[in-house]
Structure 1
């Protein structure tokens, strides 16, 4: 049994699923958002949670069980901007299987460090805007624009994508920056939209305009972050289908494995306590995605063609 630093059993990611995935897809499916947590690499002291192990071996088992050939590894917040775990995982998986999304400090990262990340298989950087800035939406918007513009300026020479973990309400403030970006801009987890907020939620119309114009990419990822009615998420279907109708050529799918918690689930838990991963039926999530897509051609775009192009496989 694997234990955490405190000797208690460590949370383990689920690698199975009870439901049947969609039928065969022509091409290599890409899971565009997974994390690796390796106890051999220290977490940042100022982290907001402590995950259990989710190693490269665990990831291989998960992908094989799901019938997924490739993955995009995203630097999790618990490692800050120390990308050592990410780089090691990319080396272990190899360029035929994996690409990486790193986290950097654009004000201090040296050019040679960015070049080294690119050689390691990194194709983008992530900016966490979910909690950045002040309480007011205008202050948060200004802080977000500054952070994204600075990051784009640093990584554009390498052609890196810029991936944003952002609240949907901030998208209008970022719209001009996103539209003018010389590199792909990718929004995590349904771009922060929530099924419960309905079709009139702030920022959705602007998001749909950007999507229809081909100026933004959206990850249909972490269904449990956008919807509440597991396992089929009928509450999320109208939003997903609206995004697909707007532009299926700018959407990619991701599991968000190993399914960390968040928000209210962390209330009352110390940041150093090991947080259990969610139990998620990823096979069913894939099947639901195919149902939302509506046909084999659109499903293949989202699972294979779009991510292969975006993440340069």
Structure 2
């Protein structure tokens, strides 16, 4: 087939999890269920925090932003998959593919940065409790979220603009359920050296800095907790950051699993499943982790749904 450049490419095919017609209804039901749970769960978190004045604190402000990010990243990928399965049309336009790629990078990076900001919030609350309200003032909280958004947007635009230089040869089938950057680079006929160097360098920076901040924060938190004399006091201090620690473990654990799976296997199906564990599952489970482990959140949710506060 004759090589074409990116100006002549009209679109790609998202091959998804499977091409077996018998499994399509199962895949559709799975994605639809996960999407509905993700959206409803995270919207409930946002509504509960907004409606309860006791939860108008920095920790829950960041939690609302995290929930909003989870809804956005799921809405960037899953609806297109559902439509493709329902209509049996796996095509996505060139502009649509690059747009999806860009938004996945924005919201994925934003989630990583927000988890680092939330770790810093827990660090200040536990290690500097008397200065907490002074340090974590509303202005700083808003600035931290805006800084996260601007940084991740710049990163996403950089990768997206570099993707514009790629040339493609047919067939243009992406073995994925969304336009993933590394799969797009692997599909191209261009020399991928510059794009791969950019991925490893910039992604290492944008993933490494938040992760380093989280590790530093929790090192200080654990050190402070161990200095608390009573067991009850140590447990109370740790419980304030237990939910966040679980979310961090889930998010970075699945992301590391994606990296490892792509490094040790060439199976497209395994890579797609691993990416689903990173881009779908954490966003679905986050509301459950925060609501089930947090008494204040359970009370706010009960009051929102039934009008009866938790005693």
TM-score, with length taken from structure 1? 0.27
- Decide which structure has the larger Cα Rg and report it: 2
Q: Larger % of helix: which?
A: 2
TM-score, with length taken from structure 2? 0.27
Q: Larger % of strand: which?
A: 1
